[in-house]
Structure 1
Amino acid sequence: MVRNYQCPKCGSNSYERDEIRAAGGVFSKIFDVQNKKFIAVVCTDCGYTELYKKGKSSLLGNIFDFFTG
């Protein structure tokens, strides 16, 4: 959780947090496996978004992504 968040664009303290997954290589793109995770912090007033790298997904998560498409 982000503490004392202040939007650099509008100065608001209101935000939402979400997770984004993306493919990160040829193998990942071919098999549609999202192995990169990012945390998105979004200002709820103006929509300004910051992304922070979370790390790689687990093997189980990658298998689940492969079968669910």
Structure 2
Amino acid sequence: MQQKGCLKCGSTNADQKEVAMTGTGLSKMFDVQNNQFIVVYCKDCGYSEFYNKKSSKGSNIFDLFFG
């Protein structure tokens, strides 16, 4: 059976945002934020999943979060 909603609390109240993070080595030293992600998070409990923005072109991130 496929579960819909947040994996932690079952809520369907979610949102998404884009974040950027540094990597390792020189990019970390010079604070170059070359890693971009889409974060889908539950507004009720805060559970979050990160998706690589480069590999998620054309897909609906909410579908991945809610099954």
Taking structure 2 as the reference length, the TM-score comes to: 0.68
Structure 1 residue matching 2:45: 3-state secondary structure = coil
Following the alignment from structure 1 to structure 2, what is the Cα–Cα distance between the partners of residues 30 and 45?
Answer: 36
Work out which structure has the larger RCO, using CA pairs closer than 8 Å and 6 or more positions apart in sequence.
Answer: 2
Structure 1 residue matching 2:38: 3-state secondary structure = strand
Following the alignment from structure 2 to structure 1, what is the Cα–Cα distance between the partners of residues 26 and 7?
Answer: 37
**How high is the sequence identity, in percent, across the aligned residues?**
49
Structure 2 counterparts to residues 1-69 of structure 1, below 5 A: 6-55=5-54
Following the alignment from structure 1 to structure 2, what is the Cα–Cα distance between the partners of residues 12 and 19?
Answer: 21
Unmatched tracts of structure 1, length 5 or more:
56-69
Q: CA RMSD in A?
A: 1.3
What amino acid is the match of 2:42? Answer: C
Larger Cα-atom Rg: 1
Which digits, 9 at most, give the CA deviation of each residue in 1:6-44, with x for residues without a partner? 101111111110111111231211211100011111101
